[in-house]
Chain A
Amino acid sequence: MKAFQYATAHSPDSARQLVADNGAYLAGGNDLLGLLKEYLVTADPLVNIKSLPGLNKIEDGRKAWTIGALVTIAQIENHADIKKTFPGLHEAASEIASLQIRNVATVGGNLAQHSRCWYFRQRDVKCLKKHGDLCYARSSENRYHSLFTGNDCISPVVSSLATTFAALDASAIVLRDGKELRWSMAELYAEAWKNPYAHNSLQPGDLIVRVEIPTARSRSAYMQISDKHAFDWALVSCAAAAEIADGKMKSPRVALGSISPVPHQSEAANSFLDGKVLDDATATQAADMILKDAKPLEHNAYKMPMAQALIRRTLLKLKGDA
Chain B
Amino acid sequence: MKEPEPEKFGAHSRRTFLKSLGTVAATTATAQVKSVAAELEKVNAEKVIGPEAVPVTLKVNGEKLKLLLEPRVTLLDALRNYSSLTGAKEGCDRASCGACTVLINDAPVYSCQKLAIEAQGVEITTIEGLAKDGKLTKVQSAFIEKDALQCGYCTPGFVMSVTALLKKNFHPTAADVKHACAGNLCRCGCHPHILQAALKAAGVGHAAKTEIVNYA
Q: Which residues of A contact B51 (CB under 8 A)?
A: 3-6
Q: Which of B166-216 contact A (CB under 8 A)?
A: 178-180, 182-184
Q: Is B45 an interface residue, CB under 8 A from the partner? A: yes
Q: Which residues of B contact A2 (CB under 8 A)?
A: 72
Q: Is B133 an interface residue, CB under 8 A from the partner? A: no
Q: Which of B19-37 contact A (CB under 8 A)?
A: none
* A16–B211 alpha-carbon span in the complex (Å): 53
Given known pairs A8-B46, A34-B94, A99-B161, the reply for A104 and B114 (CB within 8 Å) is yes
Select the stretch in B103-111, B136-144, B146-154 that faces chain A.
Answer: B103-111
Q: Are B50 and A4 interface neighbours, CB within 8 A?
A: yes
Q: Is A46 an interface residue, CB under 8 A from the partner? A: yes
Q: Which residues of B contact A99 (CB under 8 A)?
A: 108, 161, 179-180, 182-183
B160 to nearest A CB, angstroms? 9
Q: Are B178 and A30 interface neighbours, CB within 8 A?
A: no
Q: Is B83 an interface residue, CB under 8 A from the partner? A: no
B79 to nearest A CB, angstroms? 15
> What per-residue 1/0 map shows which CB atoms of B99-142 lie under 8 Å from chain A?
00100100111100111011000000000000000000000000
Q: Are B113 and A34 interface neighbours, CB within 8 A?
A: yes
Q: Which of B32-50 contact A (CB under 8 A)?
A: 42, 45-50
* A117–B70 alpha-carbon span in the complex (Å): 30
Given known pairs A6-B71, A8-B45, A101-B110, the reply for A230 and B178 (CB within 8 Å) is yes
Q: Are B71 and A5 interface neighbours, CB within 8 A?
A: yes
Q: Are B11 and A17 interface neighbours, CB within 8 A?
A: yes
* A99–B118 alpha-carbon span in the complex (Å): 19
Q: Is B67 an interface residue, CB under 8 A from the partner? A: no
Q: Are A29 and B115 interface neighbours, CB within 8 A?
A: yes
> What per-residue 1/0 map shows which CB atoms of A120-143 lie under 8 Å from chain B?
000000000000000000000000
Q: Are A7 and B98 interface neighbours, CB within 8 A?
A: no
B99 to nearest A CB, angstroms? 11
* A291–B47 alpha-carbon span in the complex (Å): 51
B138 to nearest A CB, angstroms? 20
- Contact of B114 (CB < 8 Å), options: A11, A29, A98: A29
CB nearest to A48 among chain B residues: B118
Q: Is B74 an interface residue, CB under 8 A from the partner? A: yes
B76 to nearest A CB, angstroms? 11
Q: Are A5 and B50 interface neighbours, CB within 8 A?
A: yes
Q: Is A166 an interface residue, CB under 8 A from the partner? A: no
Q: Is B95 an interface residue, CB under 8 A from the partner? A: yes
* A94–B109 alpha-carbon span in the complex (Å): 16
A236 to nearest B CB, angstroms? 20
CB nearest to B74 among chain A residues: A33
Q: Is B12 an interface residue, CB under 8 A from the partner? A: yes
Q: Are B12 and A100 interface neighbours, CB within 8 A?
A: no
Q: Is A45 an interface residue, CB under 8 A from the partner? A: yes
Q: Is A271 an interface residue, CB under 8 A from the partner? A: no
Q: Is A151 an interface residue, CB under 8 A from the partner? A: no
CB nearest to B13 among chain A residues: A13
Q: Which of A4-49 contact B (CB under 8 A)?
A: 4-11, 13-14, 17-18, 26, 29-30, 33-34, 36-37, 45-46, 48
Q: Which residues of B contact A30 (CB under 8 A)?
A: 95, 113
Q: Are B115 and A33 interface neighbours, CB within 8 A?
A: yes
Q: Are B182 and A37 interface neighbours, CB within 8 A?
A: no
Q: Are A100 and B71 interface neighbours, CB within 8 A?
A: no
* A80–B12 alpha-carbon span in the complex (Å): 41
Q: Are B95 and A100 interface neighbours, CB within 8 A?
A: yes
Q: Which residues of A contact B178 (CB under 8 A)?
A: 230
* A46–B180 alpha-carbon span in the complex (Å): 31
Q: Which residues of A contact B42 (CB under 8 A)?
A: 10
Q: Is A277 an interface residue, CB under 8 A from the partner? A: no
* A51–B42 alpha-carbon span in the complex (Å): 10
Q: Which residues of A contact B49 (CB under 8 A)?
A: 5-7
Q: What 10 pairs between A and B have smallest CB-CB spacing?
A: A98-B183, A14-B11, A6-B71, A3-B51, A230-B182, A13-B10, A231-B182, A7-B48, A100-B183, A103-B107
- A-B contacts besides A2-B72, A6-B49, 8 pairs, CB < 8 Å: A5-B49, A13-B11, A14-B10, A33-B95, A36-B72, A37-B94, A100-B183, A103-B108
Q: Which residues in B have some Cβ–Cβ distance to A below 8 Å? A: 9-12, 42, 45-52, 70-72, 74, 93-95, 98, 101, 104, 107-110, 113-115, 117-118, 161, 178-180, 182-184
Q: Which residues in A have some Cβ–Cβ distance to B below 8 Å? A: 1-11, 13-14, 17-18, 26, 29-30, 33-34, 36-37, 45-46, 48, 50-51, 74, 94, 97-101, 103-104, 230-231
Cross-chain pairs A/B with CB under 8 angstroms, 13 sampled: A3-B52, A4-B50, A4-B71, A5-B71, A7-B47, A8-B118, A10-B11, A10-B45, A37-B94, A51-B45, A74-B107, A101-B95, A101-B113
